[in-house]
Structure formats: structure tokens, C-alpha cells
Structure 1
Amino acid sequence: MRSWAERRTRAAAPKAALPARPRRIFILPTGAGVAFAATVLLLLAAALNHTNNLALFLSCLLAAVGVVAAVHTHLVLGRIDVHRVQLTPVFCGEDAPCAVQVRVPGTTSLTLEACAGNGPWTPQMVQPGTAHVHAPLPTTRRGQVSWVEIGMATAAPLGLFRAWTFMRLPVHGVIYPTPWPGGCPVFPIRPMSADANAPQQSTAGDDPQDLRPYRPGDAPTRIAWKTAARSLARGGPLVVFDHSDGQGGAVLLHWDACPGQGEERIQRLTACVEAAARAQLRYGLCLPGMVIVPEKGEAQRHRCLEALALLPWEERPTR
């Protein structure tokens, strides 16, 4: 009954801007609530059968307690404010940790259940004031996540009724592509020339190999003018040539040099980015219409994986 009711009410989840408060709250008795109602009805029947005024008064009093508990459970959930939803980036197919910042009124702690998307309900004890509830979000596709369906439920204060709600809340998150299962045996670097004996040559500023952002004090002659112009047009940094590390100082992961097609190529590049990050290399990424200059660090890893996740590519069905 509970799972059927939740599936029916998910379709009614409205979009809401943050901060948000539940607008559609549903409530049903719990197992303890059904047992409580059956006990009250049995006591009421016995009181009427034996004309016992004290038992009749007790049954009416317990029935009133049940009604007040239902109203109070509804009010507890309806007064919770959601201020922020934060999604941690993960690879597609993994459960993304979703943290929901809520404000719980009152003076007593309560048990609050939360779920994200089609994930499981996760009960947590929250204290009055600002608190965080966490729920795993199952992921099935890469790309930008702009809205997430958040469910909250509680059976406070007596556990006789369970109230729940679903809301579609804005979130700024990204799901990385799934790395290629075979890993990255060879880095897909610059494509080879027609004679297949030497790397393809390019004029100054056309090839982002061995580039880095401009630093104060760099000579103007080291500026890669053509690449810098494209980078500045997209809101990127001014880039200069960096040959301090020698020929092998940086690795450029090139889209055209990667084998495969479509999602396979994206997954292979994702595995190569992970391999370069683990090896602590200076690496960059060359994608259609985008060049990420070689750098190190966690920020560079996130920048490359996000670019791969947001790459507009649709897999064509095979015939």
C-alpha cells in the first residue's frame, strides 16, 4: 500500500524555487497506527456492549489522540524549509551523494526520511535548526543535472501516521561519463601526419600542446596568439607556450586521436583523464570546439571530466 501510494504521488511532484516548503503532503497510517485504530474500535465495541461509561470515555479519548497525532504529523512536515540541494559529481552508474539543507522548527529532534530520485528512503535523526539530510541519487546518464526530485517523510511525533511529500528542486550538478572498462593503455595524443612517421606540425598558436595560463612576467613572445584569441572569446584565460618541461612535459588528450565512435570515445577519454590525474601529469583536452590547456590538480580533472560530460553527442542507433 505504501509503495503504491508513493508511486502515485511522485507524478504530482511540483517544481519549486529555493527556499521551498512542502506544498503537497500525503499521509497514511503506519502499521502501529492501524493496530492503534483496531484497538480503539475493539474497546469502543466492548464499552457499548457492556454499557461501561468509563471504557466509552477512554475509547473516545484515544480516538481524539489519534486525530491530533495525524494533524500534528502533517504540520511537522509542512513546516520544514528546504534551503539548498548539493549534488556531488560521480561517474554515470554510481549513486551520487545528495545533501539537502533543511531548517527544522521546534525544540525536539525528529526522525526524517529522505530520498533522491528513485533512490531508497534514508532515515536520519535531525536536530532543531539548520540540518543536513543525505540521500543517494541513482544515475543512469551523463550530463548536467538541473532538477532533482527530493522526497521527505516523517512519522513524528507518535509514529501512528506517516506523512510524505515530493518536490522537484533546482540543483547545479554534473554526472561524469562512465570510464572505459579497459582503462587507458595508450594516451590519445596529437594525430599523426600523412606519412605516419612524424607528428603533425602546426603553426604557432594553432596547437595547444605545452600551453599554460598566462602568469605575470611572461614575455609577450611566448603568448600563443591564435589559441589565446579563441580562449578569450570563450571566456577562458590568456595562454602562453610552456617548454620548461621539455617535449614530454604535457599530455594533450586529443578527440581525433582517440579510437571508437560516440559514447565509446567519450568513455575512453574519461579513462585517460583518470589515468593522467593518477599519474600527476600535466594534461589537457582537445574536443570539438573546445581546448583545455594542460594543467595539474583536482580542478583540472573536474574541468576535463565536466567538458566530457557536457559534450553534445547523441549515439546513432545501429541498423
Structure 2
Amino acid sequence: MTALSRALQRRTLKWLEKRIPASQRFALDLKSVFIFPSLFGWGFIVVCGSLFILGTNYQNNLMLLLCYFLLSLMLITLFVSYQNFAKLHVRALPVTPVYAGNHASLTLQCQQPGKPKLSDGLFTVTWWQQADGITCELAEHNGHLTLPYFTTNRGLYPLPRVTLSNEYPLGLFRCWTHLDFNQTLVVYPTPIPCKIAFQEEGHDEGSNTTEQAGHDDFFALRSYIPGEPVHRVAWKHVAKGGDWVSKEFSQQQAKMGYLSLPATDDLETALSKLAFQVITLSEQRIAFGLKLGRQTIEPDSGDNHKHRCLTALARYAPVGAIA
């Protein structure tokens, strides 16, 4: 049964890929919305059928009238349920990378252009084939729904489809859709505190710092260049009748070098220690590179460089292993 269930799930996903292709935003319509009676709705249909049989058998016009009234109400509910759910515009905000063991969050932004208020009723959001999710009203959260995604191991994880459903107004029908926002979650290794194993290259031994332009210590005065920030102007010098000059600053920075996998630890521990070193050097604004197997990232600094190095650690697999 398990193999049959997996095969059926694969067939369903392939069908959904054609019917509702992956996208960053969706405008729900007839093609992407599914509607079917809920469990309560099927019970309602059984009651209507019973009233019809009783009314016909005993020739009771009041029972038949009640049956027709309930069926009419159900048909109107079908129309209202679809109108409330369709025309909803849904887009996913970029998912933020996390460290292994923490939970990520996918935030959906729901809007209904041209309407004074958002759709009514409780909306339920779950991951594909998952029972647990969140249930809330769109108006209470300004159209934002945040769905958690729990992680245990490092890596790159394509996020599954998101199921969005609603049973407004009477719970007789369930409207739902399965949306693929084509997003990949990056899970960094969990940092483990350790010493910085920084391998300096291209410099003489005996000195470990260099001077570069920065914001820490006063270095010298130079001629003012039009367009520079005015807070760098040496106003005391100008007030004494001197020419406009700008103050230059310098900061101490460690020599550029590389981080690499320590050979004394197992792979996951080594990657976690590297993650701690990457974070520490980035916070200290020290330029560094990363040597990881056959991949070499040249020395740099900044948030983009930090993300690039941590992503390389997240997706790293030894040669011959399956990534």
C-alpha cells in the first residue's frame, strides 16, 4: 500500500504541474480552484434525500418544500463559496535561510484587487499532504499567512506545494488549491564555537594586520572633493580660515586568508565549526576566503559573501557522495 500511495502521489504531482505550474504569484480561478462538498455537506445532502423520500412517500408537500428549499440553499452556498475563494491573489515572500534545527517560515500575502475587504471565513494553510497547519482569518493578519517549516539537517530543500482551503460560509463546501511557489530553503550548518583557523596567504610572517580605509581611527587630512559627506569635513580647520579638507580614517584588518575543513573532526562537526568561523569573521568585517573540496571562494567580506560561504557549507558533499 505504501508503494501504491507513493505512485499515486507522484501521478497527482505531475498532473498538478500541468494544471497549476509553479510561480511566484497566483490569481486563483477555475483552473486552480477545486470545490467539493465537505463531510458536513454530504450529511446535508443525505438529509435532503431523506426529506424527499419521506415527502414523496407520504405525499407531504411541506416536506418536499423544505427539501427544495435546503437544496436551493446548498446551490447558492456553492456559488458564494467559490466567489469568496476565487479571484484571490496569492504571492510568497522570499524565505529566509536558517540554521539546522531551527524552523523557517514561508509568508503568503493574499489580496483581492478591486474589493473593499479580504475574503471571509477561516483559511487553513498546510504543506502538501500534511495535516498540521495554521487556521486564521485573512482580515485579522492583513492578508499575511505565515507557515512554519521545521528543519533538522543542513542542505537545500525545495519547498513542497502549499494547500490553501476555506469552507465559508456554511461549511457545506470546501474550496482548496495546491500552489507551488518554486522556492528553495537554504539550511546552514548549526554553528559550533571554536577557534578561528585562519590560513593567511600572500603575506610575510610576523605581521598580521594592514591599514585600509575605514571608520575607526583618524589617519590624515586631504583636500575636500565636492559631493563627499559633509560630516567628514574638518570644520575646525575650516573655521580657522583654512581650505576645505576632509578627514581620512583607517581601521585595522587581518590579512586576507582562507578557511578550510579541519581534518580532525567528522564532516558535520567540521562544517559546523566552519560556519561559526564564517559568522565570526563576517561580524568582524575581516575579508576571508573558503576552500571546500574542489570549490574555492575568493577572499571577500560583507553579507553577500557570508551567505555565499554558508550556502556552500549547506550544500557541500564529499567527492563520490550523493549531494
Using structure 2 for the length normalisation, give the TM-score: 0.65
How far does the alpha carbon of each residue in 1:164-220 deviate from its partner, in whole angstroms, 9 at most, with x for none?
11121244x65232316xx23333222xxxxxxxxx66337xxxx75798559989x
Task: Pick closer, same or farther for the CA change 1:291–1:58 going to 2, 3 Å.
Answer: same
Q: CA RMSD in A?
A: 4.1
How far does the alpha carbon of each residue in 1:95-128 deviate from its partner, in whole angstroms, 9 at most, with x for none?
3111011103464632111234565331111129
What residue identity is the alignment partner of 2:317? E
Deviation at 1:257? 4.9
Q: Secondary structure at the match of 1:24?
A: coil
Deviation at 1:92? 3.4
Gap regions ≥5 residues in structure 2 = 221-249
Quick one: which of 35, 49, 52 aligns to 2:57?
A: 49
How far does the alpha carbon of each residue in 1:34-79 deviate from its partner, in whole angstroms, 9 at most, with x for none?
2212221222222112111121011012112222323332332221
**Paired residues of 2:213 and 2:251 also in contact (CA < 8 A):** no
Correspondence 1:203 to 2:210: no
* 1:54-203 map, 5 Å: 54-104=62-112, 105=115, 107=117, 109-116=120-127, 120-127=132-139, 131-139=143-151, 142=154, 149-171=161-183, 174-179=185-190, 183-190=192-199, 202-203=202-203
Partner of 2:242: none
Using structure 1 for the length normalisation, give the TM-score: 0.66
Task: Pick closer, same or farther for the CA change 1:250–1:52 going to 2, 3 Å.
Answer: farther
Partner of 2:275: 270
Task: Pick closer, same or farther for the CA change 1:244–1:94 going to 2, 3 Å.
Answer: closer
**Paired residues of 1:292 and 1:304 also in contact (CA < 8 A):** no
**Paired residues of 1:115 and 1:136 also in contact (CA < 8 A):** no
How far does the alpha carbon of each residue in 1:126-182 deviate from its partner, in whole angstroms, 9 at most, with x for none?
1299611111124466456676522211111211111111121244x65232316xx
Gap regions ≥5 residues in structure 1 = 191-199, 220-241
CA distance in 1, matches of 2:136, 2:211: 46
Correspondence 1:254 to 2:259: yes
CA distance in 1, matches of 2:86, 2:210: 55
Task: Pick closer, same or farther for the CA change 1:90–1:118 going to 2, 3 Å.
Answer: farther
CA distance in 2, matches of 1:253, 1:177: 19
Larger Rg: 2
* Aligned pairs, number: 267
CA distance in 2, matches of 1:49, 1:256: 83
**Paired residues of 2:201 and 2:256 also in contact (CA < 8 A):** no
**Paired residues of 1:88 and 1:96 also in contact (CA < 8 A):** yes
Which stretch shows the higher mean deviation, 38-47 or 15-24? 15-24
Partner of 1:196: none
Correspondence 1:290 to 2:297: yes
Task: Pick closer, same or farther for the CA change 1:138–1:54 going to 2, 3 Å.
Answer: same
